[in-house]
Amino acid sequence: MVLLSPSIRGLRKLLAISENAGQHGLKYNVKKHKMMVFPAKKGLERIPMVFLDGVSIDRVDRFRFFGHILTENLCDSDDIERERRALAVRCNIFARRFAQCSPEAKLTLFRAYCKTARSSIRLQYNNVYRILMRLPKYCSASGMFADARVPDYFAVIRSRVAAFWSRIRESENEILSVCSEHPENPILHYWLSVHRDINQK
């Protein structure tokens, strides 16, 4: 369970509610609780401690949540590196176990397991396909994907951004739908930046 609050005072109120969860048959393991602060600006003063059942909750600057690494400064470099390593491991397993498979079978594996690539692992994404299909190390990435009719890294990014934006715009939540139409919508700006970067390349 995750508790989110814009202030320590609000967080303490949420924790107070959690302390009464025993009335409903719930018991929280205090030792596993962690607190992370996402500072709105630099130079914050000392952050007051918070408690659950009289035990102070440790503050951390990074935490693994549902397999993803969250950091206090909202930098995703650690999480991208984790995904890059995982992609490289999958590549080696596939290349070894399915070396004798047909190109069609290899394409199915590639589509199924290599769609989570992001900008920092674009080269790894391309290399996975080269290794799996036994292509030269320095062959054209755009050419090899076009020949196989497989989406390249940039196509994957555009598709995911568009799908996410579409879900928000079609949401029944009025707040989300209104925000999606706002001219300062960061998702719209990112969508445009992705296309601008692609066109420049």
On the question of pLDDT at 24 being above 80, the answer is no
On the question of pLDDT at 128 being above 70, the answer is yes
Bridge partner list, 71: 62
The span from the CA of 103 to the CA of 132, in Å, is 9
Predicted pLDDT at 113:
64
On the question of pLDDT at 4 being above 50, the answer is yes
Q: How many residues does the chain have?
A: 201
Cβ within 8 Å of residue 93, ≥6 positions away: none
The span from the CA of 158 to the CA of 139, in Å, is 23
Residue that is written with structure tokens 């508790």 in the block: 3
Average pLDDT, the chain: 78
Assign 191 a pLDDT band (cuts: 50, 70, 90). low
> Tens digits of per-residue pLDDT, 173-187?
877 777 777 767 666
Residue that is written with structure tokens 């555009």 in the block: 158
Assign 117 a pLDDT band (cuts: 50, 70, 90). very low
On the question of pLDDT at 87 being above 80, the answer is no
Predicted pLDDT at 19:
81
| Mean pLDDT across 86-99 | 80
User: Could you tell me the two tokens for 82?
Assistant: 């984790």
The span from the CA of 47 to the CA of 4, in Å, is 16
Percent of the chain exceeding pLDDT 90 equals 0
> Tens digits of per-residue pLDDT, 36-69?
888 776 655 678 888 888 888 888 888 888 878 8
